[in-house]
Amino acid sequence: MKRILAIVALFLVMPLSAHAWWEKDWTGRKKITLDTKAAGISSDVSQVPVLVRLSSANFDFLAGKEDGSDLRFLAEDDKTQLPFQIERFDSINNLAFVWVQVPKLQTGNSTQHIWMYYGNTKAAAAAPAPVFDAQQLAVYHLGETQGLPQDASGKALHATESHATVVPSGLIAGSAHLNGDGGVVVKNPTLQQTKEITVSAWVNPERGDGEVFSFGNVSVSLLGGVPVLKMGTVTSKAAEALSLNTWHHVAVSGGAQAVLFVDGKAVANAAGLLVATDALRVGATLVAQVDEIQVSGVARNEAWLSAQVQSQAEQGKLLSQGEEQTTDTSEGPNYFKATLQNLTVDGWVVVGICVLMFFIALWVMGKKLVLLNRMERTNRHFNEEFGKTTRKLLELGQDAKAHAGALDGLSARTDDFSSSSLHRIYKVGVMELMSRFPKVNDEHHAFPVVSSQSINAVRATLDAQLTRERHGLDKGMVLLTIAISGGPFLGLLGTVVGVMITFAAIAAAGDVNVNAIAPGIAAALVATVAGLGVAIPALFGYNYLQTRIKGVGADMTVFVDEFVTKMAENYGG
């Protein structure tokens, strides 16, 4: 019983924790999912630095501080803060690169996540914290605009020589261009003390030959685009060449043996024992762009390197960002109101006409709908009474006076069938029919007999009344067709004129920028929206009403045929 209660309590708490908010001063957050299943990471890895890319496509740079100092990253429990390092936060170009240390990535887990908080303009920058683990000897982001590449790991293992030139826009923020004349050199006694080493970098080769890494008795080179691993006298080649002018992650892990990794997958290995020196050279004879050089004092495994690749690549599958969430319940900017405020006089004229057309269309549709509802209801009632009358005529035999009374009796019920088109047709038909009955007096009541020519004359009268009824049903429908066809064209005219005025005003002011153009264009488009707002409901209403009108018209046509047939049966000569 206790176990059941514990499970129930857990399920009750889970939704609360999922929707909990770390601190109310931060008004926005995003859920960042770490999908190791999609990334194909083969085993658990710990203390992994993952790269969070932010752009205008997934982040509102206006929601936080312009330098990103209000960013905070929390673990899945929404309580534990995670160490992070901002490599670049460019709020002008809406681009940011942030490194976050994740305590552990669990293999085959597609729901693991962390939280990113932002939106606190009063927040101070977070205190520096180690993002890279203790085994990380050096990290070079290569974004320095001057001087030698600096170590971002906190161990101060800075480059001692560099022949690279800075490329402002690389794979991850800035990168370096190597021209095959010496590359980047790190010389430090710390390197000579390591018994294992992992060197990795993103490489975008322009030529298929050159040395990528060199440390002690281990080197990685490109030969015809094919990565070649060498450890001492042992050489091993990858099965496939690297495509030129494309970013690839190349890593070598050395210790008891050396393993070459390309894009997170082992492609070659060489047996031997690492002979360490105090110098590491990257891209000595390579002509390529290079980004994110990382050096570890331990032999990293494939899962760890795969996590790096899937985190850092532009199309990496490890990280996916959820929707932005906010605690700000204040009313945001009223874009519709702002748009209307920029509407020009000609736009208001068009919108006013469209509004007038809209209400006229509503009035026509409403009036016609009420008319059809009443007409269909009273027509059904009249059909029942007409059926009773025709059956009664057959029962009356040759009693001429009774026949006339039955026909007149139904015709006189105007109040009962005031909305019935069938009754109006019947009334005209009875009047025309009885005008051809022979004259009777009190002494002699001759049974009426009507010739076929007279029956045809009655039909003609009925058809004339049928046409008048149909005209009555179609009355006003032309206003809907005007709204349907004229509304969009009127709106388009207003939009074109509005755009012309906007560009003319910009040309006169000599100020060309998005903020100057956008309000006028948005306001001009209001005319098109107004035109469509008239046409769309009018189109739906017109089609619906026409279907109903056709149904009533068919009923009237059937009734005319039935009336003529019944009367000819009773009074035909």
Average pLDDT value for residue range 421-430: 90
- Count the neighbouring beta carbons within 10 Å of the beta carbon of residue 152: 21
Distances in Å between the Cα of 214 and the Cα atoms of 8, 252, 272, 336 are: 59, 10, 15, 62
Q: How far apart are CA 235 and CA 273, in angstroms?
A: 14
- Count the neighbouring beta carbons within 10 Å of the beta carbon of residue 530: 25
119-170 pLDDT per residue, tens = 998 999 998 889 999 999 999 999 888 899 999 999 999 999 999 999 988 8
52-98 pLDDT per residue, tens = 999 988 898 988 899 999 999 999 999 999 999 999 999 888 899 99
Architecture of domain 136-297: Sandwich (2.60)
Domain boundaries, the chain: 23-132+302-321, 136-297, 334-573
Name the range with the highest mean pLDDT among 64-78, 335-349, 492-506.
64-78
pLDDT tier, 1 (very low <50, low <70, confident <90, very high otherwise): very low
* 347, pLDDT greater than 90: no
Q: How far apart are CA 195 and CA 297, in angstroms?
A: 8
First to last CA, the chain: 97
Q: How far apart are CA 573 and CA 381, in angstroms?
A: 31
Decide: 489 and 531 in contact? Cβ < 8 Å.
Answer: yes
Q: How far apart are CA 502 and CA 388, in angstroms?
A: 72
* 410, pLDDT greater than 60: yes
Q: Which residues, including other chains, have CB under 8 Å from residue 69's CB and lie 6 or more apart?
A: 123, 124, 125, 126
**Three-state secondary structure call for residue 490:** helix
Which of 310, 307, 284, 280 has its CA nearest to residue 295? Answer: 280
* 443, pLDDT greater than 60: no
Query: Residue 140: its pLDDT value, please?
Result: 95
Q: Which tokens belong to 365?
A: 């549709």
Q: Which tokens belong to 273?
A: 């024992």
4-22 pLDDT per residue, tens = 334 434 444 444 344 579 9
DSSP 327-361: ---S----HHHHHHHT--HHHHHHHHHHHHHHHHH
Q: How far apart are CA 250 and CA 227, in angstroms?
A: 9
Q: How far apart are CA 489 and CA 480, in angstroms?
A: 15
Average pLDDT value for residue range 243-257: 94
Against a cut of 0.85, is the pTM above it?
no
